[in-house]
Amino acid sequence: MNPILDRTLRLAVICSVAALLLGFVNSLTAPQIEQHKKEELQRALNELVVSGEAGEAEALDNILVSARYPITDGGDLTGYILALNGSGYGGEMKLLASYSLDGTLLKAILMENNETPGLGKKAEKSEYMDKFIGRGQEGNPIPTVKSMLEKPDAVGGSTITFTGVSRALAAGSDYIREGN
Amino acid sequence: MKELTKGIYRENPIFVLVLGLCPSLAVTTQVVNGIGMGIGTMFVLICSNIMISLLKNVIPDEIHIPAYIVVIASFVTILDLMMQAYLPALSASLGVFVQLIVVNCVILGRAEAFASKHGVWDSVKDGIGMGIGFTLSLVLIALIRESLGAGTITLFPIESLGFNGEIRIPGLVNSPARVMTLSAGALLVMGYLKAAINGINERKGR
Amino acid sequence: MSYIGILITYVFISNLILSQFLGLCPFIGVSKDLESASGMGFAVTFVMTIASLVTWMVYHWVLIPLNVEYLQTVTFILTIASLVQLVEMVVQKYSPALYKALGIYLPLITTNCGVLGIALININQGYNLMEGFMAGFSAGLGFMLALILMSSIRVKMQTERVPKAFKGIPIAFISGGLMALAFMAFDKALLTNLIG
């Protein structure tokens, strides 16, 4: 046989076997991965709601705020959970944050980020968000530079992570106040 | 036996062969990531060594690189999917570096230098040995970087003992040298460790 | 993000070698003198730019329509390997001088994690075709910059007195670490101040 044809065929056989195998593994793991993502989102939503319950997602056409989940308590709208995009050191970060209707931040969770492991990861610890909580209403904005904090030294992690997180949270607060 | 132990010190992939640096420095900010990455790499290394030593007579020399790469990339994808499905937390913290195991020179290097010339059983032992050496080196680097850089040692949480997986080192945890967790610290740690190993070898040789 | 932003990000702020840990093997291995460092730098920039374009097209025009995104790693690495081979053949045929300069570095690029790394980053960041092209090109430039700086340091180092155990690779790592420390001064805040 022509040596080039022979080599091409062998390589093609190896590739197709590999593709078949991967397809098989994917069909096993895909539902599991989907399940994990759903569970993680649900857990985050439950944690964010202070009282009442979160509704269905509504996708939004906004660069910073990509979706909102209305929070209802006994049928009344009490606030929104927003899916926010912030930019950090290692690229995009996704946050979920709940706000009351006047724009006050109730709770926030960092969902996905590619930050330097260990460093930006500090923002995943729940205490990190404490300094933003309860602010965001008219006249009490969410701090977007470290000097706006009472104890700026207490902020661990990099400035970039801080800026990324705080700007996203502030944008969410602005969105709520402008919308209502 | 020799095939199993050579990877640990004498032919250690990271410190002696200086292969597979990118993942070893990138993920070693926490001990648990080092262990995860080491075991993941070992899995791919063993599987690809087996496949390649089985296929060594089927793959013509001219196309051996693309063929090896396909084999390695398939196992990496399997590992990536499995991790996402069953160990989502670890998969999230290793990020893109799981996929980058493909270009870890240790794996292609062992396929080329060992598995393509030896039998299946020897190749398995080589994979295990190199994998253990790689994992131990990652753990060593991670131990130094995490304890100095964050003042903690993060391991797997054991719920029955009420252990949350994090050991805090008194004194260091409040004033860590954060630079150690950054790229600069990684390169410095690597340089000093390599120098220490050179020094030890030299003393032995004398 | 604007193209200048991407350029500054990948050359300085997220420099592949000094802050993302991608492509360390050639950083240590091929930085012994200026000539080989710049040769490798050019070759990598070239391949990274083309590979960013091609892998973007493969992902968005082939893998997504066929719904087989899980084959990403396999197809990307194969694309890069064949691209390197192709570049090698074309350069050899049409520019023997360039081939002589780049020749020995080209095969090494296949296993350079920087190339696969930037291809995967392009997809993860959701760049469009032009942004991906720009990111690949800038990442290559950043790689070349780090490599050339490193080679100049190492040439100087040869005439310096270095403790015996630190000779060669260890001192290269330590110099790299100090360089990375200097590059930490490039911060995302720079970008915000420059272009808002």
* Chain C interface, Cβ < 8 Å to B: 18-25, 28-29, 70-74, 77-78, 81-82, 110-113, 116-117, 120-121, 124, 163-167, 169-174, 176-178, 180-181, 184
Q: Which residue has the higher pLDDT, C85 or A121?
A: C85
Average the pLDDT over C120-145 and give the result.
88
Task: Please give the share of chain B, as a percent, with pLDDT higher than 70.
Answer: 95
Asked if pLDDT for residue B50 goes beyond 80, the answer is yes
* Residue of C74, C126, C189 with shortest CB distance to A18: C74
Residues A16 and A93 in one domain: no
| Subunit partners of chain A (3 or more CB pairs within 8 A) | B, C
Residues A25 and A88 in one domain: no
DSSP assignment of A76-119 equals EEEEEEEEEEEEETTEEEEEEEEEETTS-EEEEEEEEE-PPTTT
pLDDT band, very low/low/confident/very high, at A161 (cuts 50, 70, 90) = low
Q: Which domain holds residue A20?
A: 1-48
Say how far apart CA C147 and CA C120 lie, in whole Å. Answer: 22
C189 touches chain A (CB under 8 A): yes
Residues A82 and A157 in one domain: yes
Mean pLDDT of chain C: 83
- pLDDT, tens only, B10-45: 778 888 777 777 777 888 888 888 888 899 999 999
Cβ-defined contact of C14 to A89 (cutoff 8 Å): yes
Facing residues of A97 across strands? A82, A108
* Residue of B69, B184, B199 with shortest CB distance to C81: B69
Contact B81, C70 (CB under 8 A): yes
The mean-pLDDT minimum among A156-165, B6-15, C128-137 falls in A156-165
- DSSP 8-state assignment for residue B60: -
Q: If you count residue pairs, one on B and one on C, with CB atoms under 8 Å apart, how many are there? A: 130
Say how far apart CA B148 and CA B160 lie, in whole Å. Answer: 29
The minimum CA-CA distance between B44 and chain A, rounded to whole Å, is 14
Average the pLDDT over A19-41 and give the result.
85
pLDDT of res. C194: 61
Residues A79 and A164 in one domain: yes
CB atoms within 10 A of CB A100: 16
Residues A37 and A69 in one domain: no
Cβ-defined contact of A10 to B58 (cutoff 8 Å): yes
A contacts of C70 (beta carbons < 8 Å) = 22-23, 26
Asked if pLDDT for residue A59 goes beyond 80, the answer is no
pLDDT of res. C193: 60
Which of A11, A14, A15 should we substitute to test contact with C (largest number of C Cβ atoms within 10 Å)? Answer: A15
Average the pLDDT over C25-53 and give the result.
84
Residues A165 and A97 in one domain: yes
Residues A102 and A145 in one domain: yes
Contact A81, A105 (CB under 8 A): no
The minimum CA-CA distance between A16 and chain B, rounded to whole Å, is 10
Contact C170, C53 (CB under 8 A): no
Asked if pLDDT for residue A113 goes beyond 60, the answer is no
Cβ-defined contact of C184 to B186 (cutoff 8 Å): no
Cβ-defined contact of A25 to B71 (cutoff 8 Å): no
In this structure, what token pair is assigned to residue B97? 């570096």
pLDDT of res. C140: 93
A34 touches chain C (CB under 8 A): no
- pLDDT, tens only, B103-150: 887 888 888 888 888 889 999 999 999 999 999 999 999 999 888 887
Average the pLDDT over C94-107 and give the result.
74
The minimum CA-CA distance between C119 and chain B, rounded to whole Å, is 11
Task: Please give the share of chain A, as a percent, with pLDDT higher than 70.
Answer: 71
Residues A148 and A109 in one domain: yes
Q: Sort A10 into a burial class: Cβ within 10 Å, 0-12 / 13-18 / 19+.
A: middle
Residues A159 and A92 in one domain: yes
Residues A97 and A168 in one domain: yes
- pLDDT, tens only, B180-193: 877 888 899 999 99
The mean-pLDDT minimum among A112-121, B61-70, C117-126 falls in A112-121
pLDDT of res. C1: 52
A16 touches chain C (CB under 8 A): no
The total number of structural domains that make up chain A: 2
pLDDT band, very low/low/confident/very high, at A157 (cuts 50, 70, 90) = very low
- pLDDT, tens only, C141-192: 999 999 999 999 988 888 888 888 888 888 989 999 999 888 877 766 566 6
Residues A114 and A92 in one domain: yes
pLDDT of res. B140: 92
Report the amino acid identity of residue A44. A
pLDDT of res. A155: 45
Chain C residue with the nearest C-alpha to that of A24: C70
Cβ-defined contact of C177 to B65 (cutoff 8 Å): no
Residues A88 and A174 in one domain: yes
